[in-house]
Chains A and B, each alone.
With several copies, the nearest count.
Chain A
Amino acid sequence: MKTIKFSAAVDSVLAQQMARDPRIVLFGEDVQALRRNLFVRFGARRVRNTPISESAFVGAAVTAAMAGLLPVVEVYMVDFLGVAMDALLNHAAKTYAFSGEQWSVPMVVRAPCGGGYGDGGQHEQSLWGWLAHIPGLSVVVPSNPADAGGLFLAALEHPHPVIFMEHKLLSDTWLDFLAGGSRSTISFDIPTSGAEGLVPNKWQPIPLGRAAVCKTGSDLTMISVGVGVHQALEAAKILEKEGISVEVIDLRTIQPLDLETIIYSVDKTGKALVIDEDYQQFGLSGELAAVLLEAGINCQYARVCTEDTIPFNRQQESQTLPNLERILSAAHRLVD
């Protein structure tokens, strides 16, 4: 075991796999600079800068995958997938089905996501539930370096398209790049155990669709993903002192969902609190409610999500994104 940073874990798996599997190519805007350590090792044929043309290069990744490559295509932020949505919605996600399940599209879209560093509502979205709505896409959102590496390895091994999301608050390189994180004058609410952590000496894939129970408990189940997991753990610690025993589930992958773990836990506690940094309506939090009801679990349910466009103002931003205060008060409402 060794301690490394969040994005370094992903890069380390990517380097390892690129060395093993010549099919892997990496492209995106500025990746020769952003992933320069991969660039100088694997060269310009396999690490390619693109023009600012997301719809063309995400679209190209689809057929590159179909024709035998394994593209890792990187976008600056998940928000910018708006311009490339057709490639995901109508091509990456559908080719396997259209071809009568004869032709698959093994590609990984690597996209920073999430807010909490004051960059405004066009640059801090999560959108994981939104992407997961589309049949044919898997969506992965790790919350710590070990999961990031293991899930990225699984994403590379997956025969179908995977959206792999890196929360910017967990990534020191993205924070430097996008938040002026090099300034000593600014600070962020970084979950330290998410930004840096122990990882195995030898990477093993973490299967998609397997949630992690980060903490067991009996009174209330908190279900979350990404930075929300750390907020849940923090809240759990506080609630524990009040005598409330909280179970915390890190979904790790949004699509597929680990129904078993979710249902087992909520069946036990009878109370589900979803903490979801993505938009509240018609997304992950709703889906979790549906799978619980479908399983016949009668539970008390609450959710703390992002309800509106994320404000630039730091205070309003932190009110709009899930925060500890809102989580605690929702938990209290459920338990009382």
Chain B
Amino acid sequence: MDLWNLYSGMYFNRLFEEQVSNLWRQGKISGEMHPSIGEEAITAGVLAHLIEGDALALDHRGTAAAIMRGIDPGALLDEFIGLPTGLCAGMGGHMHLFSEDHLLASSGIVGASGPAAVGFALAAELLRPGKVAVAFFGEGSLNQGMLLESFNLAQEWQLPVIFVCKDDQWAITTDTNPNVSPVQRAQGFRLPTSSIDGNDLKVVYQTAGKAIRNAREGKGPAFIHATCNHPEGHTLDNQLVRVGRRPLKEGMAITIPLLKSVFKIRGAPIIERIRAMIQTIKMIRRSASHHRPQSSDPLKHARELLIKDQERLDQLEATICAEIGELFSATGSRLTAEDSR
């Protein structure tokens, strides 16, 4: 495992997405924005094992995987902005990344990465023996029928698919039922499973390595459950996160109508209303405590593994910082030039 190399991809992605977030906040990127910040160790640990000819099926949160798979960051950035010079000529945006060269496809439809990986793996079996397909998806997607079907199909056809569930415990505003075990669900389809701390790069690397090796050898699919945390919440600046971060300003906008509603005549018995109110407050609180920088940050974690060689680390980070700076300032001036036209 070349830790330096992996860390450098993770670090690059973090800075990249932070800058993307800025651009988004500046209104240079339209629509929603689902950062993958926080899942860098999962991405790096899995992708470290991929070789040319392997395929990747991504969900709505595919930035880190696209970056670490080697897609040109400039093309990616331009795609996010929607420029003709983007990876997909500005047609897709951050949820619809496609690169035939990398056999990389993403989708904004929850669960779609499962069938997509199965199709990629089928092509691998017939055209590129020894190659594999990886599907990334969140734990919320485990409720989407097509993903469940794809577990079974991969198993029936014994295809080289690695299903990677990035469990951040949230699906937008819904925090995962703690009684649900993703691993148990995957076992229902006879998939070999592992459940790991997705913030721990080494563990991800080892687990993914084994699964991918097996898949290459024709031993069929596997399921990896890896926990993580998305400090930005579901999308940049979504209401839940805003309330968590600016409780006074944003909280009031939510609280006043809530209080009005809870006291309206006609409705559920008071006890049910109180329960609903408490549940709502709890959900907002939990969201606030989850959706902020965490001590478990995978980047911090990985960094500690390298801190022994502080000098090299500093240099690496400085280099990447400079690269990112260059990329974004170039793009920034291009955008400004266009704006003024």
Contact = CB atoms under 8 A, between A and B. Distances in A.
A63 B105 contact: yes
Interface string A16-54: 001110010100011011101111111111111111111
A119 B258 contact: no
A83 B109 contact: yes
Contact of A40 (B86, B111, B120, B280): B280
B215 to A, nearest CB: 16
Most buried by A among B123, B258, B275: B123
A108 B257 CA distance: 25
A185 interface: yes
Given A33-B240, A57-B115, A120 B96 contact: yes
Contacts of B114: 56, 59
B258 to A, nearest CB: 6
Given A102-B98, A183-B27, A97 B91 contact: yes
B178 interface: no
Contacts of B45: none
Interface string A169-188: 00000001111101101110
A121 B242 CA distance: 27
Task: Give chain A's interface secondary structure class.
Answer: helix
Given A56-B118, A59-B119, A45 B258 contact: no
A171 to B, nearest CB: 14
Contacts of A177: 238-239
A314 interface: yes
A47 B98 CA distance: 28
Interface residues of A, number: 86
Interface stretch (B201-209, B261-269, B296-304): B261-269
B331 interface: no
B235 interface: yes
Given A69-B127, A100-B90, A312 B276 contact: no
A45 B272 contact: yes
Interface stretch (B6-14, B63-71, B141-149): B141-149
Interface of A: 15, 18-20, 23, 25, 29-30, 32-34, 36-69, 71, 79-80, 82-83, 86-87, 90-91, 94-95, 97-103, 117-123, 176-180, 182-183, 185-187, 309, 311-314, 316
Given A57-B115, A64-B122, A67-B124, 9 more contacts: A36-B280, A37-B258, A43-B272, A60-B153, A83-B111, A87-B146, A91-B107, A95-B98, A180-B24
What are the 9 closest A-B residue pairs judged by CB atoms, nearest first? A118-B30, A59-B115, A100-B89, A185-B27, A63-B119, A43-B268, A43-B272, A67-B123, A56-B149
